[in-house]
Amino acid sequence: MRIFLLGGTKDSTNIITHIKENYDAFILTTTTTEYGARLAREAGSDDTIARPLLKDEIIEIFTEGAFDVLIDATHPFAEHITQTSVTIARELEIPYIRFERPTTNLENIDTSHIIYVKSFNEAGKLIADQFSEGNVLHFAGANTMAEIVKYVSVDRFYPRILKVESSLVKCRELDIDPEHILPMTGAATLEENVELIERYDASVMITKESGEIGGVIEKIEAANEKDIAIVMIQRPKIEMLDEKDIVNDLKEIDIKIDCFLKK
């Protein structure tokens, strides 16, 4: 079985490890960074591509590589690539699986400090209007910084990002002080989040509703503990996705793959 995996997330590395342990499979993983590709190789991916791919490039790779299934395990907020992958799967009539990490269960969590918004543009406007004092912790990735600093001064903007060249370039383009860049190596603990809030005198934190694997609960609890606001961008709904193509855990992936193998 030959699998084309759109990766770059912790979910995707878990999927790679699981498939290599349970199936006779060749996996090609695409990511947007060399860092993501390295993690994919360490998880067991047979081959990787470490750059963003255009639709036509993906179709060409698919056609030349004779892949049996496309698995999209990109981030819940990577709308464009998911829309593209759905279109490709339909055009080429190939089996498609969209892995979506479950939304965060906040049933027993104090959510009183959360302000929900639908976009980063809305988040930037809200912070400029309601949080003019104190600093802003941006825990939502390098690709979303520009929409915030349109409205919020970089003098009080502190992004936590992977210190890879592509992210550092974005910071330079936005004139973000290198001393404001907080290096990220994975989901932070409650204690680490609290320490950052205290050290940088933050009045508000920005995050995505990216699921428990993205450390959302630890961010909420840190905001609660330090009595600051947390602006949370809600997940986009991708209209093109068919519910029957979506899985939320590895067992559901097995069911899909086993079904494909029987055909």
**pLDDT at 250 (0 to 100):** 92
Give yes or no: residues 67 and 11 share one domain. Answer: yes
**Cα of 123 vs its chain's centroid, Å:** 18
Quote the pLDDT of residue 203: 96
Provide the pLDDT for residue 259. Answer: 83
Confidence (pLDDT) at 124: 96
Give the 3-state secondary structure of residue 117. strand
Tell whether 55 and 134 lie within a shared domain: no
Residue 128 sits in the same domain as residue 191: yes
Is residue 107 included in any domain, yes or no? no
Same domain membership, residue 221 and residue 166: yes
Q: Are residues 65 and 130 in the same domain?
A: no
| Judgement on whether residues 160 and 206 belong to the same structural domain of the protein | yes
Q: Is residue 109 domain-resident? A: no
- Greatest Cα-to-Cα distance within the chain, rounded to the nearest angstrom: 61
Q: Into how many domains does the chain fold?
A: 2
In a domain, 144, yes or no: yes
Same domain for 229 and 243, yes or no, is no
- Same domain? For 157 and 81 the reply is no
Do 225 and 118 share a domain, yes or no?
Answer: yes
Residues of the chain with pLDDT under 70: 211-214, 263
Distance CA 55, CA 229 (A): 39
In this structure, the answer to whether residues 141 and 206 fall within a common structural domain is yes
Q: Which of 31, 28, 32, 36 is nearest to 4 (CA)?
A: 28
- Give the pair of three-digit tokens for residue 92: 């080429």
SS (H, E, C) 47-86: EEEECCCCHHHHHHHHHHHCCCEEEECCCCCCHHHHHHHH
Integer Cα distance of 17 and 11 in angstroms = 10
Does 124 fall in a domain? yes
Is 108 a domain residue? no
Q: Where in the sequence is the domain holding 178, given as residue range(s)?
A: 114-233
CATH code of the domain containing 83: 3.40.50.620
Pair (79, 152) in one structural domain: no
Structure confidence at residue 149 (pLDDT):
96
Which tokens go with 127?
């912070």
Residues 93 and 202 reside in one and the same domain? no
What tokens were used for 246? 């979506």
Checking 37-42 for CB contacts under 8 A at 24+ apart, the result is: 39/13, 40/5, 40/7, 40/12, 40/13, 40/16, 42/13
Assess contact for 104 and 209: CB atoms under 8 A: yes
Residue 74 has a CB neighbour count (10 Å cut-off) of: 25
Q: How many helices (H) and strands (E) are present in the chain, helices listed first? A: 10, 12
Please give the pLDDT value at position 213.
67
Structure-token pair, residue 256: 């899909």
Which pLDDT value is given to residue 239? 75
| Dihedral over alpha carbons 134, 135, 140, 142 (to 10 degrees) | 150
The reply to whether 15 falls in a domain is yes
